[in-house]
Structure 1
């Protein structure tokens, strides 16, 4: 996810939210025998970051692909690869890429799509240190690994879900193989997936979808994304997810529109016609305290509690699907 605009809120709403954030202590989700394991999800996030940078076509990406395929197959998922290529923004040489698709209940004609991007940006382009912007290591703990880590843990719970719908996880490659925000394209993996979904004959359709992006921040606050609320076909998905969070007492899901985000849900919806909403935390106090696209996007900025809360909301939302 790369560009965004903050929704205009009245001063009174902002003040109310700020006071609430300061006065209410963070709530911890109680883990039951079948609840989402945030600690294990966090360990998955650390595993991914231990591979280093995972930009498209890199050795780190290849190692990640091998790790993820083994993980999902071990848990009973049917793993396939959607392979494509694109030119490197600098060298102009072709870069092999692959969207990872994991299916459960593959015979079902009505399916739910859960997705995230699993590549990392080549460089920490927003770092305050000019040298780091050119040469620094971008691990992408929150921006890349967090959504993937939630799906890795969610795979442990598939058997507890109703089989009314088929379920697909898709991890998109090349969401941000970007060196220059002005010239390099985003969302190559999700665009390819959306075009293939639209043009190819198929005997199934996606009835709902959720994109998970930047959901591991230790100071979690997930507002509703403007496009996801504006579209008629995704508004009920947003309402269902935030109502699930409210029922569970996960107050980090805030039922207010705060930002408009350019993310993978745009090509999925606008090209593929897939009703996908964006669940994303893009709330930073100011540029100096933001670690977005910097060397500071490390596992230490994320938490098991945040991953656990997001995962539990998604798990319970899936359980309520009928």
Structure 2
């Protein structure tokens, strides 16, 4: 199956616990709907789907559902790296450096090295970096695991703020790998790419004339799981509760989550929750309109996947209008093949440029709360 053919088809709607479809994933109040906060329980049909997927993958292919989208070719921009005023090559270098650390699951030596690398990078740019530490139970062992969200702030005196988010932990093992589901997982697209784009965006923020503050948050524990039954989203839920319950003199007017945005065959559709929430829809519409103005055709203003991701906690718990920027059509997802070779400096440049230009023109609407 060619890359173009992959983009004209769609995955089964569930592969394991992180991604969920259905009305409950869109619950406007997660505190009243536990299934919107943690992974769902699965019946036999789910494990049958996983089994069929892995059998097909082991036989040399990947199983997909058919899609009615037969026009994938029109969603490729003619832009080159040299035409885009966002350094995709440097961003890709950050991605490679993160992956060179090796696996970076929560509580691991690799995670500690990554934290040192990111703190050094952002402090050198003049940002204030805060470690938000907390503990969670290990899914399999009778011990606690220390987790750390990294919060990076520019213009901390500003009361109106924009939040960018990305998870920076890697899955402990590539559980969907057809050959070795206990092998090595470096998480290039999931999610070193999102982190690396924010690193490059951070290089540019000191020179941007903004009338609002900007924070980056790197979530720990997004997928610290060893089976589909384990809990996801530890870091984003902790961050959201601290924001909701804490005393503060600022507010986030919008949040943008970057997850799986660096693959070579980039296509970014509206994520369904992000445009279903009435207080959040404007974020997606503004970003995709910016992409259209820049002729970045990989931003496709149509709904496709509904995804359980960290933006649910930001919206449902913290009450922040939120948008999930994600290309979920990525065959190496949660396999050993999620490596830099399957990512693209050009894709990263396109995403970073769109966000950079969107920030420059951003005006928070009165109805955002």
* Shared fold (TM-score, shorter chain, > 0.5): yes
Partner of 1:27: 78
Shift of 1:128: 1.1
Matching of residue 176 in structure 1 with residue 192 in structure 2? no
TM-score computed with the length of structure 1 as normaliser: 0.91
Shift of 1:276: 1.3
SS state of the match for residue 201, structure 1?
coil
1:165 corresponds to which of 180, 190, 212: 212
Matching of residue 250 in structure 1 with residue 250 in structure 2? no
Aligned residues: 304
Counterparts of residues 277-296 of structure 1 (less than 5 Å)? 277-284=323-330, 290-296=331-337
1:107 corresponds to which of 153, 157, 161: 157
Counterparts of residues 34-45 of structure 1 (less than 5 Å)? 35-45=85-95
SS state of the match for residue 18, structure 1?
coil
Q: Distance in 1 between matches of 2:19 and 2:76?
A: 31
Q: Distance in 2 between matches of 1:252 and 1:74?
A: 33
Q: Unmatched 5+ residue regions in structure 2?
A: 1-16, 24-66, 364-369
Q: Distance in 2 between matches of 1:223 and 1:4?
A: 17
Partner of 2:305: 259
Q: Unmatched 5+ residue regions in structure 1?
A: 8-13, 285-289
Partner of 1:2: 18
TM-score computed with the length of structure 2 as normaliser: 0.79
Shift of 1:88: 1.3
Partner of 1:90: 140
Q: Distance in 2 between matches of 1:24 and 1:189?
A: 34
Q: Distance in 2 between matches of 1:195 and 1:6?
A: 25
Partner of 1:309: 350
Matching of residue 228 in structure 1 with residue 244 in structure 2? no
Q: Distance in 1 between matches of 2:272 and 2:153?
A: 29
Partner of 1:10: none
Shift of 1:160: 3.2
SS state of the match for residue 169, structure 1?
strand
Structure 2 vs 1, CA of residues 36 and 205 (structure 1 numbering), >3 Å: closer, same or farther?
same
Which string of whole-angstrom CA distances, capped at 9 and with x for unpartnered residues, describes residues 229-259 of structure 1? 0101110001000000000011000000001
Which string of whole-angstrom CA distances, capped at 9 and with x for unpartnered residues, describes residues 23-74 of structure 1? 66542256469x2100100000000000000000000000000000000000
Partner of 1:206: 252
Structure 2 vs 1, CA of residues 247 and 127 (structure 1 numbering), >3 Å: closer, same or farther?
same
1:298 corresponds to which of 339, 350, 356: 339
Structure 2 vs 1, CA of residues 24 and 179 (structure 1 numbering), >3 Å: closer, same or farther?
closer
Q: Distance in 1 between matches of 2:276 and 2:73?
A: 30
SS state of the match for residue 91, structure 1?
coil
Partner of 2:103: 53
Q: Distance in 2 between matches of 1:23 and 1:160?
A: 35
Partner of 1:11: none
Instruction: Decide whether the 8 Å contact of 1:29 with 1:308 is kept in 2.
Output: no
Instruction: Decide whether the 8 Å contact of 1:108 with 1:204 is kept in 2.
Output: yes
SS state of the match for residue 239, structure 2?
helix
Which string of whole-angstrom CA distances, capped at 9 and with x for unpartnered residues, describes residues 249-283 of structure 1? 11000000001000000011000001111000012
